[in-house]
Structure 1
Amino acid sequence: MNLRALKTVFFKEVLENARDKRTVMSSIVMGALFGPILMVIIMNTTIKMQQDKAEQKLEVPVINQAGAAHLMDFLSAQDVTLQELKGSPEEAIKNKDHDVVLAIADDFAEDFSQGRPAKVMLYHDGSAKGAAKVSVNRLRSLLNAYDRSIGTQRLQLRGISPNLTNVVMIEQHDQATKESRGAMLLTVLPYFLIMGLFMGSMYLAIDTTAGEKERKSLEPLFLNPVKRDTVLAGKLAATVAFGLLTLVLTLVAFKLTLPWYPFEKLGMRFNMGMQVMMIMLLVLAPLALLAGAIQTIIAAFAQSYREAQTYVGLVLIVPMIPSMLLMFMPIKEQLWMMAVPILGQNLVINELMRGDIVGWDAIGLVIAGTLIMGLALAWIAVKLYNREKMLFTD
């Protein structure tokens, strides 16, 4: 392979795309900054809303307050503002007029005086998100406290020790560390890193293949006394370089935005020191070759830039699959999993975020598995461009 020609093609593609402000903004700036900035905004906004809700005076609409005067006195003593609700509790929750509604059963007073369980109804939306659940949890905790208090008093009046009802004493040993709790908050970090890498190489992969076919500039390019393999290798190298650049910028952006994450408020910690960043870069770097090769192959079959953009855009779903699975499914890491591209990167980054020590055998397997797959796809991409029908739009 003519390295001088490869270098010429590489710098040609890099310079041409660097001059295109739209490409730079879409692939590098947006790809690198979108994830970190979005996460900071979402997390701080969510935590602030929940804290504000927790610190505000709890307001509870109650149906039939007169039926449970003692309970109302208890709630008022806990600084709860009681409101009378005359309408339907179902409608109040459905219309989001209130987060929670307390309804007292008509026979509450009679059951309470007879020592029988007295019923109250708690209306709320279990699918509600964010701060709405804070009010529900606060009211439920107060009702449980009232239940325990009355139960204890009844036993003591009968000369019975309340400890007789405690059959099992649970002593909890939470093994979670501040780092592992912080990892829960940043479960989307691997997704944003991988997504940024794919976005960084996407536009260049499309422009150097389908874009040039649409502009009919591939044919004169291949008339030069240089092998097609060398030309496409140079284009692919430029695509990989843009992906790596976006990856580095995304890592740096996450590092710079860490002080704005609400870790201390939540009793969490996240270590993103130089060693952790270098390991992340090491395991993610081979994905740049894999992403560039996949996008080049798909773009090779497109007849226009817009068509290629549609097809390659669908590839962005691929990084989502392992990331989403690991967010919602507990998976015990096995060494063989590290050889699966994208899945291996997710597993290693998750372990690093939890503060666990990642073995070099796992890191080596992640790099080797992704690199082998990337090289195989790059070889296929090069061979595709040796076929005449791949070079023309007609």
Structure 2
Amino acid sequence: MPADARRGLRRALVWEITVRDLLSTLRDRRTLNATILMPLILIPLFTLGLPLMMGSLIGGQQQTRQQLGISGELPGGLRAALERDETLPDGTVVRAGVDLVPVTDPLQAVQSGSVDAAVQASSPLPERAGDGTGTLNIYAKLGNLRAQTGAYSKVQDVLEAYNRQLTVQRLTSLGLSESTLTPVTLRPVDASSTQEQRSGQLAFLIPMLMMQFILAGAMATALDATAGEKERGTLESLLVSPVRRAEVVAGKLLATTLTALTSAAFSVAGFLLSGLAMRALQDRQPEASAAFTQGIGGQLSLSPSALLSLLGTAASTAVLISALLITVGIYARSFKEAQTYVAPITMLIVIPAVMLQFADFLHSGPGLYAVPLIGGMVSILDTVRGALNPGHAALAFAVNLLAALTLCALALRSFSREEVIFRN
């Protein structure tokens, strides 16, 4: 370890370097937008707007009449069921029927787009249970979400109800009740905590987006304070001044971490804003939040201790990412070269964050939380879902800080080597 690293840091000089690098970052309005505005806009858009949009699109397909091609003869009851609208007592259409269109070639009709889906009865279909069986072929573009949630879905639901109706009629004629079909009833009971139910299936987006914004905020300052200064020739003037190399590293690390934490704080604010907006929407328009009640959307509603844990884990992650970027940035010859190095690092951070959607399949033992960065991501996800384990969160926090200290030592070593500082 260099001699100046073993001496105490002069806080005034460290803070002066920090302010210097922060001011350089603040001069770029694009950085401010990426650090402050983008989390407040994109996070509500992903966690609130996207599920509501999907729910609206799917619900819109159910409430819109589609063209259904018909080839062959259908029983009168089935035709009527397909064309009939399902409504609430107040007249609101829950599921619209379909318009039946005769077609000669159902496959060609669907492929050409003249109908949304088509059914073909190759033989007469039974009108009563016990009168034999029949097959109804349905043609649709099964890889098309619009087709699946529209006419195709309606035909499936109507045919299932039609089959049950015929079966119930047959049972009644035999003196049996409808309950004969279901002697044992399965009643699901959600054992998830309240916060797990609120966070929904998109809970993994919260740590993923937090990592993205922490990385974006740290990158703006770290690369400019290292490779950018080398390229402009201002780093040499800083290093020949009466300031220790350890103080330079500490100042740049502090500036980068503050920028990253600012972005993280606004990302948390974005999630809290989404939760408030969702609760207000549920109070005023319960039907508009149907997608969320089905577990699709996510809300962030945290207790003070959970919020403190979330911010602490985010802070340790910000320090780790900042130290990594400074270590890489000082090694690069130019700003462009530093960006080239950072590109694969971005993927190494983003890919594990995306894989958090499969976190339910992971064994959340202490070993997982002992992995730098990944342990912090899993800890954030646990906090969001209301399953926070203080021991796991403390382990992830400590491991992140330990990894950051190791990277800081590498960065200090690079700052102390002239062949690295002047390699541009």
TM-score normalised over the length of structure 1: 0.88
Structure 2 equivalent of residue 45 of structure 1: 53
Aligned residues: 391
Secondary structure class of the residue paired with 2:80? helix
Take 1:152 and 1:110, find their aligned partners in 2: how far apart are those partners? 14
Question: Structure 1 residues 116 and 251 mapped into 2: Cα distance closer, same or farther (>3 Å)?
Answer: same
Aligned pairs for 1:178-197 within 5 A: 179-183=195-199, 184-197=201-214
Contact map agreement 2:372 2:399 (CA 8 A) in 1: yes
Kept in 1: contact 2:320–2:403 (CA 8 A): yes
Change (3 A) 1:369 1:84: same
Which ranges in structure 2 are unaligned for 5 or more consecutive residues? 1-8, 87-96
Q: Does residue 285 of the first structure (1) align with residue 315 of the second (2)?
A: yes
- Structure 1, unaligned stretches of length 5 or more? none
Shift in Å, 1:202: 0.2
TM-score scaled to structure 2, two decimals? 0.82
CA-to-aligned-CA distance 1:171-228 (integer Å, 9 cap, x gap): 4333245532332233311111111111111011111111111112222221112222
Partner of 1:6: 14
Residues 148-159 of structure 1 mapped to structure 2, 5 A cutoff: 148-159=164-175
Q: 1:18 aligns with which of 11, 22, 26?
A: 26
- The equivalent of 1:391 in structure 2 is 421
**How far is 1:337 from its partner?**
1.6
What is the distance in 2 between the residues matched to 1:87 and 1:351?
Answer: 56
> Aligned partner of 2:272: which letter?
K
Alpha-carbon displacement from aligned partner over 1:340-376 (angstroms, at most 9, x marks no partner): 23322332332333333x2321221111111111111
Q: 1:73 to 1:318 in 2, by over 3 A?
A: same
- C-alpha RMSD of the superposition: 2.9
**1:199 paired to 2:216:** yes
The equivalent position to 1:328 in structure 2, one of 351, 358, 371, is 358
Alignment partner, residue 91 of structure 2? none
- The counterpart of 2:384, out of the listed 353, 369, 386, is 353
SS in 2 for 1:318: helix
Partner of 1:104: 120
SS for the counterpart of 1:173 is: coil
Q: CA deviation at 1:150?
A: 0.8
| Greater displacement, 347-356 / 84-93 | 84-93
Contact 1:108–1:120 at 8 Å: present in 2 too? Answer: no
Match of 2:404 in 1: 374
Aligned: 1:64 with 2:71: yes
Q: Does 1:342 align with 2:370?
A: no
State the AA in 2 paired with 1:311: Y
SS at match of 1:271: coil
Quick one: which of 296, 305, 328 aligns to 1:298? Answer: 328
Q: Partner residue of 1:363?
A: 393
Structure 2 distance, partners of 1:207, 1:379, is 20
Distance, in Å, in 2 between the alignment partners of 1:120 and 1:188 is 41
The aligned runs of 1:228-307 (5 Å cut-off) are 228-261=245-278, 265-266=289-290, 267=293, 270-307=300-337
Find the counterpart in structure 2 of residue 175 from structure 1.
191
The separation in 2 between residues aligned to 1:32 and 1:388, in whole angstroms, is 42
| Residue type at the aligned position of 2:10 | N
C-alpha separation in 2, matches of 1:85 and 1:350: 53
Say if 2:225 is the partner of 1:217: no
The separation in 2 between residues aligned to 1:182 and 1:96, in whole angstroms, is 40
Query: Which of structure 1's runs of 4+ aligned residues deviate more than 6 A?
Result: 110-114
Secondary structure of the 1:303 match is coil
Structure 1 residue 103 displacement after superposition: 1.2
Provide closer, same or farther for how the CA distance between residues 2 and 178 of structure 1 changes in structure 2, counting only shifts above 3 A. closer
Q: Is the 8 A contact 1:302 1:308 kept in 2?
A: yes
| Aligned partner of 1:119 among 131, 135, 152 | 135
Paired letter, 1:71: L
Residue 26 of structure 1 aligns with an amino acid whose one-letter code is A
Identical pairs, percent: 23
Residue 84 (structure 1) shift: 0.9
Amino acid at match of 2:402: I
Report the Cα distance in structure 2 between the residues aligned to 1:302 and 1:92, rounded to whole angstroms: 60
Using the alignment, how far apart are the partners of 1:111 and 1:135 within structure 2? 22
